[in-house]
Amino acid sequence: MITFPNAKINLGLNIVSKRSDGYHNLETVFYPIFIEDALEIIPCATAYKETPKFEITGNKIEGKPEDNLVMKALNLMKEEYPQIPDINIYLHKHIPSEAGLGGGSSDGAFMLRLLNETFELGATEEQLLMKAAKLGADCPFFIKNAPAYAEGIGDVLTPLDLSLKGKYILLVKPDLSISTKEAFANIKPHTPTLSATDICSRPIEEWKSLLKNDFEDSIFPQHPKLKEIKEQIYSTGATYAAMSGSGSTIYGIFEEPIGKDITSQFNEKFVWSGRM
C-alpha cells in the first residue's frame, strides 16, 4: 500500500517563552501544502524468508536509517500491535530536508496512518495523535493534516477555519542548513500583540506588515542570502512571503499561477511551485 506524505508551511511563528525543560513555547499556524514524498509498504514474502528492508530514494537524507521517523513509527506501532508482519519499506524523498517544511515529521505520521489502515489495527485518531507526539512536536499535525493553530512546542493544536484554496505557492531553498542552536541563538521570547491566528483571519494583503516569523531576525543576519530570496520573491509579485519554521526555505504566496518566467529567476538548489 502506498501513501503520499505532504509538507506544511508556518504562517507566522512567534517564540513566546522559554520553558523549564529547555524548550521554547511558540505560537504559529500550520498549513498543509501538497509537495509530497511517496511512502510504500509491502509485506515480506514469508515463503522465501525475505529479510525486511528500508530503501530511501530521491533527496539524500542524513543519518542512519534506523533513526528515520518512518522506522521509529513502525517500532512504536509494533510495541502495541505485534501482529504487524515484517514489511519492506520504500520511501522516495521529494520534500527537502532541514527546510522547515516538516517532511520528516510528515513521513513518520503518515507511516502511523498507513500501518493502521493497511493492517486494520483499529487505532483511533486520538491514539494516533498520542503516538505521533512521541515521534516529534510537528508530527501530530500531520495526523489530521488540516490548518491548525499550534501552541506549546507545536504540539497543542486547535483546528482553524482557514483556506488558501485557489492561491499559488513558490518554495525556494538554497543549499544551506540551519541548526536548531543557530536558529535560537539570538531569539528573544515575547508575547505578540496579535497572534498568528488573529492575523490569518485578516485579508492576506495585510499579512506582509503583520505576520512575522521570529526566526528571520535571528537567521537573516547570519545568512543574508535568505533575506535576498525573500525580497526577490516579493519583487516577482508575491502577496506574502516568509521563512517556514526554522528551516532554510522561503515561500511566497501568489494570486496568479507561477510560470517559468518567475521560477527561472531563482538559481537555488530547490525551487518548486504549485497550487494551494
Q: Is 8 a catalytic residue?
A: yes
Can you list the alpha helix ranges (DSSP code H) found in 192-235? 196-200, 207-210, 215-219, 224-235
**Contact indicator for 166, 197 with CB cutoff of 8 Å:** no
Distance CA 212, CA 12 (A): 5
Record the cell numbers describing residue 35, joined without a space.
Answer: 509537495
Among the options 37, 93, 107, 138, which is catalytic? 138
**Contact indicator for 262, 236 with CB cutoff of 8 Å:** yes
Record the cell numbers describing residue 124, joined without a space.
Answer: 483511533
Q: Is 138 a catalytic residue?
A: yes
Distance CA 128, CA 137 (A): 14
Can you list the alpha helix ranges (DSSP code H) found in the chain? 69-80, 103-118, 125-135, 141-144, 180-184, 196-200, 207-210, 215-219, 224-235, 260-263
Active-site positions?
8, 138
